[in-house]
Chains A and B, each alone.
Chain A
Amino acid sequence: MADTFLDSTELVLNMGPQHPSTHGVLRVIVKLDGERVIGTECVIGYLHRGVEKIGENRTYQQFAPYVDRMDYVASVSNGLGYCLAVEKLIGVEVPPRAQAVRVILTELNRIASHLVWLGTHALDVGALTPLFYTFREREDILNIYEKYCGARLTTHAFRIGGLQYELYEGFEDEVRAVCDTILPKIDEYEQLLTGNRIWVGRLKGVGILTAEECKQYGVTGPMLRAAGVKWDLRKAQPYSGYEQYDFEIPVGQNGDTFDRYIVRLEEMRQSVRIIRQAVDRIPDGPIMGKVPKVIKPPVGEVYVSIEAPKGELGYYIVSDGSTQPYRVRVRPPSFVNLQALDKMARGALVADLVAIIGTIDIVLGEVDR
Chain B
Amino acid sequence: MRKLLRTIFLIDLIEGLWVTFHYQHPKYRCTEQYPAERPKVAERYRGAPRLNTNPETGETLCIACNLCALACPEKLIVVSSERNEKTRRKELTTFTFDTSRCMFCGLCEDACPVDALELTQDFELASYSREGAIWDRQMLEEGPRPTKYKF
Question: Which of A62, A168, A196 makes the CB contact (< 8 A) with B107?
Answer: A62
Looking at the complex, which one of B71, B72, B119 makes contact with A150 (CB distance below 8 Å)? B119
Q: Given the known inter-chain contacts A150-B46, A156-B106, A191-B19, please indicate yes or no for A197 contacting B13, CB distance below 8 A.
A: yes
B146 at the interface (CB under 8 A from A): no
Taken together as a complex, chains A and B put the C-alpha atoms of A344 and B1 apart, in Å, by 36
Partner of B16, one of A63, A143, A146, A192: A192
CB A169 to nearest CB in B, in angstroms, measures 10
Task: Say whether A316 faces chain B, with CB atoms less than 8 Å apart.
Answer: no
* Residue pair A195, B15 in contact (C-beta under 8 Å): yes
Binary flags per residue of B38-75, CB closer than 8 Å to A gives 1, else 0 = 00011111100000000000000000000000011100
B105 touches A191 (CB 8 A): no
CA distance A154 to B10 in the complex (A): 43
Complex contacts, B110 vs chain A, CB 8 Å: 164
Are B105's CB and A65's CB within 8 A? yes
A-B contact count (CB 8 A): 70
Complex CA–CA separation, A337 to B71 (angstroms): 36
Q: Using a CB–CB distance below 8 Å, which chain B residues touch chain A?
A: 7, 12-13, 15-16, 19-20, 23, 30, 41-46, 71-73, 103-107, 110, 119
B107 lies within 8 A of A150 (CB): no
CB pair B46 A196 closer than 8 Å: no
Evaluate contact between B44 and A148: CB separation under 8 angstroms: yes
Using CB atoms and an 8 Å cutoff, list the residues of chain A in contact with chain B. Answer: 58, 61-66, 69, 129, 133, 136, 139, 143, 146-151, 154, 156, 164-165, 168, 188, 191-193, 195-197
**Contact call A165/B20, Cβ cutoff below 8 A:** no
Q: Given A195-B12, A195-B15: A146 and B45 within 8 A (CB)?
A: yes
Contact of B73 among A65, A149, A150, A188 (CB under 8 A): A65
What are some 12 contacts across the A-B interface (CB < 8 A)?
A64-B105, A65-B73, A129-B19, A133-B23, A136-B30, A146-B42, A149-B46, A149-B106, A156-B105, A164-B106, A164-B110, A191-B15
Q: Smallest distance from the beta carbon of A117 to chain B beta carbons, Å?
A: 19
By a CB distance below 8 angstroms, the chain B residues around A139 are 30
The answer to whether A188 touches B19 (Cβ under 8 A) is yes
Say which residue of A61, A154, A156, A197 sits within 8 Å of B12 (CB atoms).
A197
Residue of A nearest to B41 (CB): A146
| Complex alpha-carbon distance, A151 and B72, angstroms | 17
Distance (Å) between the CB of A188 and the closest chain B CB?
Answer: 6
Specify the chain A residue showing the minimal Cβ separation from B105.
Answer: A65
**A61 near B44 (CB under 8 angstroms)?**
no
CB pair A151 B104 closer than 8 Å: yes
B73 adjacent to A196 (CB under 8 Å): no
Q: B124 → chain A, closest Cβ, in Å?
A: 16
Q: Are A150 and B44 in contact (CB under 8 A)?
A: yes
Q: Given the interface contacts A63-B73, A146-B41, A146-B45, does A196 sit within 8 Å of B16 by beta carbon?
A: yes
A151 lies within 8 A of B46 (CB): yes
User: Quick one: closest A residue to B103, CB to CB?
Assistant: A65
Q: Whose C-beta in chain A lies nearest to the C-beta of B11? A: A195
Assess the A196–B13 pair: CB atoms within 8 A.
yes
Which chain B residues border A192 with CB–CB below 8 Å? Answer: 16, 19-20
Q: How far is the CB of B57 from chain A (nearest CB, A)?
A: 29
- Measured between alpha carbons, how far is A193 from B12 in the docked complex, in Å? 9
Question: A143–B32 Cα gap in the complex (Å)?
Answer: 14
6 additional A-B pairs beyond A146-B42, A195-B16, beta carbons within 8 Å, are A62-B107, A65-B105, A133-B23, A154-B103, A154-B105, A191-B19
